[in-house]
Amino acid sequence: MSSFRSRRHGNPAATLILCAGLALSGAAFAPVGAAHAQQSREAAAAKAADQLPIRKIVLYRSGVGYFERSGVVDGNSEIQLRFNAEQINDILKSMVLLDLGGGRIDTVSYASKEPLARRLASFGVNIANNPGVPELLGQLRGAPVNVLVAGAQVQGTVLGVEDRPMPAAPNQPASRALVLNLVTRNGLKSIAISDISSFEILDQELAAELNKALATLAEYRADRTKTVDLRFAGQGSRRVVVGYVHEMPVWKTSYRLVIPEDQPKARGGEGGAGSRGEVLIQGWAIVENTTDQDWDGVTMALVSGRPVSFQMDLYEPLYTFRPMLPVPTVPGVMPRSYAGGIEPARDKGAAQTGGGAPGRPPAAAAPEPARRMRGAVAESAAMDADMQGLYAGVASAEMLDYAAAGRAQAAEVGEVFQYQLDLPVSIERQRSAMIPILTATIPGRRVSIFNIADGSEHPMRGVEIVNDSNLQLLPGPISVSDGASYAGDAQIGHVGQGDKRLLAYSVDLDVRVQTQNEQQQNITKLRIVNGMFEQTVQSRQTFTYTFRNGDEKRGRTIYIEHPRDDNWKLVTPAKPDDQTQTHWRFVAEAGAGKTVSFPVVLERVYFQSFGVMDVDMPTLIGHRQNGRISEAALAAVRRAADLQAAVNETERRLRGLTDQVAEITAEQSRIRENLARLGQGSALAERYIAKLNDQETQLEQIGAQRAAAQQQLEQQRRELNAYIRGLNVE
């Protein structure tokens, strides 16, 4: 394997061995003192954690957690907290500090994070882009190196690296190779990089720059945690609080539901096959401590709300683009002369303003409400109410006042629910825990649930529950036990207090379902509206669900989920037992070993429009006999038919006159052709001329008749259109 070495003059210990063409690794070049510094930082962080331990944690389902530390400091104090590097952005965005003893919050400082590529680019040898041997040698232009080639050393100054065509060997195609050009004592020498076994950098400063770059790379990779220094200035012993938000795993919920074999009657319930009994529900919260610190006896709250949360890179310095502009030059100018002018009067009010720019108001004193608020916070320090409202969703007045007496206002957005755990919680770092959050008996009963969209001939076995506990149920899996045996798994959505839900956990193989669908359409009424027939059509759909309960020992309460369409009206039953955005729900009771049918009838009324003259009279007479159309409407149609018949007759006469003109015109063409062949003076020619004269007279008469008929037709059409347009008959 080829390698190269980098060595300072006279210092073999600084020799650097690297694999040619491979990625540079700086793990071995971390400073020896880095480990001691890391241990010192961790020891300081551990001491700070003891001085300012975590007292309160609020976890949100939006993937963040609020952490509150509190403790006692004396005089001017500095506390170091350690965070993972990926948490620093959230810390910078959310950290809040309070000194409840009247002290002052000084600057919060932390180690800056300059972009790695920018830091590596600052060294004499840039390894930011993971350079190979050719690229690295290309950066050493002008530097002296010692190259080992085929066991012989060649010393010189790097001129550059070039891609050079190589002479073709016998029976081989031409190729190209990377060549190192060295300026030696004997002149320019070119060496194929593939022939180089190793090389060493003879320039002491340049070799040191490479070592520094490798050490920086190793430190950047190894430094996973960062220190944030908090400074409190004041006198005496006093309590301080630090709150911040950073990314945390979403806390999850899971439930256990136990249906007793013989369900007791629910509180205030009635007996009977379909009555509700009581079931036992137990809820667990699954919480992960992915931090590097133990949670020891912390107050924990789990919030179901999802506040807006985002990430923003506030930690890494941001450099913006600045364009390079040429140095401005001013061309020579000729001397000019100007006429005298009148200077405008100055503003006396501006001249009398003391200090600052003209018109700028003097600096305002600290607002009186802010001073009063500071006093109130100092007095409330003795109450020690765990800093309620410090950061959990609503910004408190203490925060707003201590944050440079800001005026920002906070308000609740949406409804959230919080699980406040009664007992302190302890979870070791990088460990998870299941925390019980609910154990209660709630109303519930066994049910079967059928939805035709499931595509099964069996309904689902399930349970209907009513959440009458004092807690909300959040989405999560639920394991169901029926009696003493496991029955199946279900998935529960968000269930508020007092809400009812259906849960399905298995297929009810004892019950079979058959469905039948019938459709009918019936014209119920015809009327004339604005000259158009409006036909009222009633469409009816009948869905029949037939359930055969094969269980000879236990009856079934069956929920039928029928697709809901607001364009259809529910006729049978009169109203659903329950409904969702997409389904109506009906309850059917099937006794042990019994078969029951449940019809669902829907009706829809819609309208169709068509022209008054588009329906023949026999059809309308049939509708009249069935009571779908009134006698007045039928009479109106007859009147319209008469007007239409008059129009049709006039159009027929016009077509007849047009046909006569066409026949005469064709005859005249034949006569003119004959006259052209006969010439003048013959008896037949005279006869043709006389006939042409008669036809011309006839054409004039027909033209007059066509004009009169056309005028009459337009009048009749106007009368018909006016009659139909204003026709409205029930």
pLDDT (tens digit per residue) in 472-521 = 888 899 999 988 889 899 988 888 888 898 999 999 999 999 999 998 88
- Tell me the mean pLDDT in the region 100-116: 79
pLDDT digits (tens, 9 = 90+) for 4-23: 333 333 333 232 323 333 23
- Across 467-582, the runs of DSSP E, i.e. the strands, are 476-482, 485-492, 500-507, 511-529, 532-549, 556-563, 569-572, 578-579
Tell me the pLDDT band of 684, cut-offs 50, 70 and 90: confident
Query: What's the pLDDT tens digit per position in 614-636?
Result: 677 777 777 777 767 777 777 77
pLDDT tens string 278-317 = 999 999 999 999 988 899 999 999 888 667 777 777 766 7
Confidence of residue 388 (pLDDT cuts 50, 70, 90): very low
- Tokens representing residue 718 in the block: 């106007």
pLDDT-derived band at 533 (thresholds 50, 70, 90) equals confident
Q: What is the mean pLDDT of residues 556-560?
A: 93
Name 19's Cβ contacts closer than 8 Å, sequence gap at least 6.
1, 2, 3
Mean pLDDT, the chain, rounded, equals 75
pLDDT of residue 351: 38
Which position has the token pair 């530097």? 143
Confidence at residue 249, expressed as pLDDT on a 0 to 100 scale: 92
| Residue 25 in this model has a pLDDT that exceeds 50 | no
pLDDT at 41 over 60: no
For residue 532, what pLDDT band results from cuts at 50, 70 and 90? Answer: confident
Given a contact cutoff of 8 angstroms between Cβ atoms, the answer to whether 505 and 490 are in contact is yes
The domain locations on the chain are 1-30+111-164+177-223, 52-103+234-248+291-317+368-429, 511-614, 631-725
Tokens standing for residue 83? 């965070």
b vs e for 437-476, b when ≥16 Cβ sit within 10 Å of the residue's Cβ? bbeebbbbbbbbbbbeeeeeebbbbbbbbbbbbebbbbeb
Over residues 263-279, the pLDDT tens digits come to 655 444 444 445 568 99
For the residues 121-150, what does the mean pLDDT come to? 81
Residue 148 contacts by C-beta under 8 Å, 6 or more apart in sequence? 154, 196, 197, 198, 199
Average pLDDT, stretch 44-59? 75
pLDDT value of position 276: 66
Contact 304, 278 (CB under 8 A): no
Q: What is the pLDDT of residue 463?
A: 92
**pLDDT over threshold 60, residue 358:** no
Q: Which two three-digit tokens encode residue 174?
A: 């031409």
Q: Which long-range contacts (CB under 8 A, 24 or more apart) does 326-335 make?
A: none
Q: What pLDDT is attached to residue 415?
A: 52
Q: If you average pLDDT over residues 36-62, what whole number do you get?
A: 70
697-713 tens-digit pLDDT: 888 888 888 888 888 88
DSSP state of 454: G
pLDDT at position 114: 63
pLDDT of residue 459: 92
Mean pLDDT of 560-578: 91
Dist CA 221 CA 226 (whole Å): 13
Q: Topology of 1-30+111-164+177-223 in CATH? A: SH3 type barrels. (2.30.30)
Which of 655 and 407 is assigned the larger pLDDT? 655
Q: Is the pLDDT of residue 28 over 70?
A: no
Chain mean position to CA 367: 42
How confident is the model at residue 115, as a pLDDT?
Answer: 65
pLDDT reported for residue 551? 92
